[in-house]
């Protein structure tokens, strides 16, 4: 992989211990230390571009470490899902309520569900064992989110839910969150593939269309649910 863009401060190639921190294109925070990998430190190889770094770290990382990271990201989607579900605004038939349920809520929830995979893809792409793992992670996180959200709604937000409401939530909750998370995962996969194939710094802009599609799908479902509720269908 070849990439002419250099990451980090000038002179990183001359750092003998590979201890110079490199930076991504989004800000001044270091992503990590090139010398963090013992195998790389022993090799004495220099890191001049993100392509070099990605290739070396991908070769040095153990598969077990990759899968531990993947499982950890999926498990963290549950706690983050709680925050997303609690941030949801109860549907009120006012302009602000409709906008919150159709636009703000879906955006917050989709970002919350995918924050773990986003961090993995954008900042530690060498920890992703294969491209197909990315949408699997987001779907698993979405389904976990749906379970937590349903528990909150059926035990906190909705007093004495009817069997129809329970059935509706357990059918459409996992379906909507699963599909929207899949769309977001496809976008993250596109970003990861672009980075690994071109040696460029991972950028969510590459797959942002899929992320928007996931948010839009979620928002369309919320709008349909509001209409059905307003017309006493549900």
**Alpha-carbon gap, residue 220 to 12, rounded angstroms:** 48
pLDDT score at 216? 96
pLDDT score at 82? 65
3 domain-assigned:
no
Torsion sign (Cα): 116, 121, 127, 129: positive
pLDDT score at 87? 56
Q: Any idea which residue has 């770094």 for tokens?
A: 53
Torsion sign (Cα): 172, 173, 174, 178: positive
In total, how many domains does the chain have? 2
Residue 55 shares a structural domain with residue 68: no
Residue 21 CA to its chain's centroid (Å)? 24
Residue 54 shares a structural domain with residue 77: no
pLDDT score at 78? 65
2 domain-assigned:
no
pLDDT at 14 over 80: no
pLDDT at 7 over 90: no
**Mean pLDDT value of segment 5-21:** 39
Residue 109 shares a structural domain with residue 78: yes
Q: What are 21-43's pLDDT values in tens digits? A: 444 443 333 444 443 444 434 34
Residue 76 shares a structural domain with residue 119: yes
pLDDT score at 71? 92
Residue 81 shares a structural domain with residue 53: no
pTM for the full predicted model: 0.74
4 domain-assigned:
no
pLDDT score at 3? 43
Residue 101 shares a structural domain with residue 206: yes
Residue 181 shares a structural domain with residue 84: yes
Highest mean pLDDT among 140-144, 151-155, 176-180: 176-180
pLDDT at 146 over 60: yes
Give bridge partners of residue 33 from the DSSP assignment.
Answer: 21
* Percentage of residues in the chain having pLDDT higher than 70: 72
Residue 68 near residue 123 (C-beta atoms within 8 A): no
Residue 23 shares a structural domain with residue 85: no
pLDDT score at 226? 86
- Three-class HEC string of the chain: CCCCCCCCCCCHHHCCCCCCEEECCCCCCEEEEHHHCHHHHHHCCCCCCHHHHHHHHHHHCCHHHHHHHHHHHHHHHHHHHHHHHHCCCCCCCCHHHHHHHHHHHHHHHHHHHHHHHHHHHHHCHHHCCCCCHHHHHHHHHHHHHHHHHHHHHHHHHCCCCCHHHHHHHHHHHHHHHHHHHHHHHHHHHHHHHHHHHHCCCCCCCCCHHHHHHHHHHHHHHHHHHHHHHHCCCC
Q: What are 41-72's pLDDT values in tens digits? A: 434 344 468 888 898 999 999 999 999 999 99
Could you tell me the residue range of the domain that residue 55 belongs to? 12-60
pLDDT score at 174? 94
Residue 70 shares a structural domain with residue 172: yes
Residue 18 shares a structural domain with residue 89: no
Residue 51 shares a structural domain with residue 150: no
Q: What are 94-114's pLDDT values in tens digits? A: 667 777 888 888 888 898 889
pLDDT at 17 over 50: no
């Amino acid at each position: 992989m070849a990439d002419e863009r250099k990451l980090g401060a000038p002179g990183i190639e001359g750092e003998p211990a590979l201890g110079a921190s490199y930076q991504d294109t989004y800000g001044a925070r270091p992503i990590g230390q090139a010398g963090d990998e013992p195998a790389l430190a022993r090799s004495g190889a220099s890191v001049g571009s993100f392509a070099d770094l990605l290739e070396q770290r991908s070769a040095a990382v153990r598969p077990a470490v990759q899968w531990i990271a993947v499982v950890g990201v999926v498990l963290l989607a549950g706690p983050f899902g709680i925050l997303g579900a609690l941030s949801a605004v109860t549907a009120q038939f006012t302009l602000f309520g409709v906008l919150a349920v159709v636009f703000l809520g879906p955006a917050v929830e989709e970002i919350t569900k995918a924050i773990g995979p986003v961090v993995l893809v954008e900042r530690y792409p060498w920890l992703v064992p294969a491209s197909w793992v990315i949408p699997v992670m987001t779907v698993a996180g979405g389904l976990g989110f749906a379970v937590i959200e349903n528990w909150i709604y059926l035990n906190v937000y909705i007093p004495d839910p009817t069997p129809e409401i329970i059935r509706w939530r357990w059918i459409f909750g996992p379906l909507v969150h699963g599909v929207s998370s899949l769309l977001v995962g496809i976008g993250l996969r596109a970003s990861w593939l672009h980075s690994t194939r071109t040696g460029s710094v991972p950028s969510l802009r590459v797959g942002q269309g899929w992320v928007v599609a996931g948010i839009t799908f979620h928002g369309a479902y919320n709008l349909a649910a509001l209409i059905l509720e307003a017309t006493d269908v549900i």
